[in-house]
Amino acid sequence: MIDAPTTRADTPRWLDADARARLGRRLEEALHRARRSGAQTIASVTACLDHTPDPTAVVAGSRLGEEPWVCLEQPDRHGSALAGLGVAWAIESRGSERFASAAEQWRATVVRAAADPAQGPPGAGLVALGGFAFAPESAAAPQWRGYPPLSLTVPEISLVRRDSEVWLTVNIRAAADDTLEALERRVDERLSNLECKPIPLLDPAPIGPYEVLSTMPPSHFEDAVARAVDRIRSGELVKIVLAREVQVHAPRDHDPAAVLGLLREEFRSCYVFAVGRGDATFVAASPELLVRREGQRASTVALAGSARRSADPAVDDHLGERLLRSEKDLEENAIVARRIARALTPHSVWVTAAEQPALVRVANIQHLARPIRAQLADNPGVIELAGVLHPTPAVGAEPVTAAWRLIPALEGMDRGWYTGAVGWTDAAGDGEFCVALRCGLLRGPVAWCYAGCGIVRDSDPAAELAESEVKLEAILPALAG
């Protein structure tokens, strides 16, 4: 049995006596399985804490060196937060079968694991966290090194918060030649390094200038929109999403934790996330759910059609009403909804979508959103469902085959994980992924920021450029001082 490590009086107790006893049993079981099969496995134990640390703050503040970390929050949804630190197990895949491959790797990992039965809120227990790129092959741009086409990690430590409860999960990889004593020491060392310090604040008066540069001139984006409209009017396409890349050069290294802290305060209804790999961190405040699976229920949303916000409530309402009546935006939303329904139908008893979209308002922009739900007929996990839906016309093209060929040709850039997705899955295949929008990739003093617009037959290049500027305003203020 693991003895509690010596701690300072102000150090939280992460595992109580019952959880430590269970962890000891899980470690012994994992060692037995590893020695019997010759394959490494995971010991996993989960416990509800008697204190309520901030999961994101603990993970961001306890990172050792450049080890991977993931944080995903949606503050207005029961204060939900899921954060993971370190790697007990890694899953990577690429190519046209990347989702099927990752799902199979995850199922094999779960079968081998010596884990506690499911308990606690969604995201508690044995989970894999991470995301995937827009395209099925590796990103070629050097800033995206460390972010493969699909990458999930089982963290050594994960914390999940729901309402007023926080649950901790410890995952330790066991090999046949490990000893119980060595694994126990690793657990104690990992837990002793956890810190409960607040997320740092952004410097309100940084020394030195910030520089914001478009990777391509704005006219390049307008020309791409015009060419796309020509293809749509010729019947080659129904819709395509085109994006821009903007760089922010800061006088010193960007602080990912401080950026994340500001985003979660400003965009409480959004999915706010950070995925750290090496010296880089991918951060975002995304309004869009790709898919959520809860047992045999799947839910998603067709989010397409946008308008700016106004500080004047009357003007803001007027802009929203105009968006609800915009034929161009309603068509764009309907295209996305139809494709999602078609994609889910072969896997479902029924699929239902709202007849008309509603307004979803975030801090600086409002969208048309149409909720879609499905009762699943077979048993695809959330990873496979993500593969069924990605890329929706909200980030790709209709027809989908045009996305891989035309989007890079028209944009002239490498999207990397932008318009991919970030999320998690548990041992039962439940979980959720959000679309990676309103995001930036931070690496030292440089941040690469992305925003895109849906192009249909009535799109105007100048109007789409203006919409991209509004969308960039979600992330730029957190990076450019």
Annotated active-site residue in 73, 156, 184, 288: 288
- pLDDT string in tens for the chain (481-residue length): 344 443 443 445 899 999 999 999 999 999 999 999 999 999 999 999 999 999 999 999 999 999 999 999 999 999 999 999 999 999 999 999 999 999 999 999 999 999 999 899 999 999 999 999 999 986 678 999 999 999 999 999 999 999 989 999 999 999 999 999 999 999 999 999 999 989 988 877 677 788 999 889 999 999 999 999 999 999 999 999 999 999 999 999 999 999 999 999 999 999 999 999 999 999 999 999 999 999 999 999 999 888 889 889 999 999 999 999 999 899 999 999 999 999 999 999 999 999 999 999 988 889 999 999 999 998 899 999 999 999 999 999 999 888 888 999 999 999 999 999 999 999 999 999 999 999 999 999 999 999 999 999 999 999 999 999 988 988 888 887 6
Structural domain ending residue among the three candidates 378, 396, 417: 378
Domain annotation covers residue 161:
yes
Query: What confidence tens digit (pLDDT) does each residue in 166-223 have?
Result: 999 999 999 999 999 999 999 999 999 999 989 988 877 677 788 999 889 999 999 9
| Cα dihedral across residues 411, 415, 419, 420: positive or negative | positive
Per-residue model confidence (pLDDT) at position 473: 86
444 within a domain of the structure (yes/no): no
- Look at residue 421 and tell me if it is in a domain: no
Asked, for residue 474, whether it belongs to a domain, the answer is no
Whether 288 is catalytic is yes
Tell me, yes or no, whether 311 lies in a domain: yes
442 beta partners: 281, 447
330, 333, 335, 338: CA torsion to nearest 10: -120
**Three-class secondary structure assignment of 247-305:** EEECCCCCCHHHHHHHHHHHCCCCEEEEEEECCEEEEEEECCEEEEEECCEEEEEEEEE
* Residue 236 among the catalytic residues: no
Same domain for 311 and 182:
no
Q: For 86, left (φ over 0), alpha (ψ -120 to 50), or beta?
A: left
- Annotated catalytic residue, options 184, 239, 384, 464: 239
Does residue 267 belong to any structural domain of this protein? no
Specify if 285 maps to a domain. no
Of 162, 192, 222, which residue sits at a domain end? 192
pTM for the complete prediction? Answer: 0.94
265 falls within a domain: no
**Shortest CA distance to 307 belongs to which of 369, 364, 368, 366?**
366
CA 268 to chain centre: 15
Closest CA to 336 of 319, 357, 350: 357
Kindly report, residue by residue over 79-118, the tens digit of the pLDDT: 999 999 999 999 999 999 999 999 999 999 999 999 999 8
CA distance to 7, 147, 200, 203, 443, per residue, from 465 (Å):
56, 28, 34, 30, 26
CB 458 within 8 A of CB 327: yes
| Rounded Cα gap, residues 3 and 219, in angstroms | 65
**Of the residues 326, 344, 378, the one at which a domain ends:** 378
Question: Which domain, by its residues, includes 181?
Answer: 17-192
Report the number of distinct structural domains present in the chain. 2
Q: CA of 216: how far to CAs of 26, 219, 273, in Å?
A: 54, 8, 27
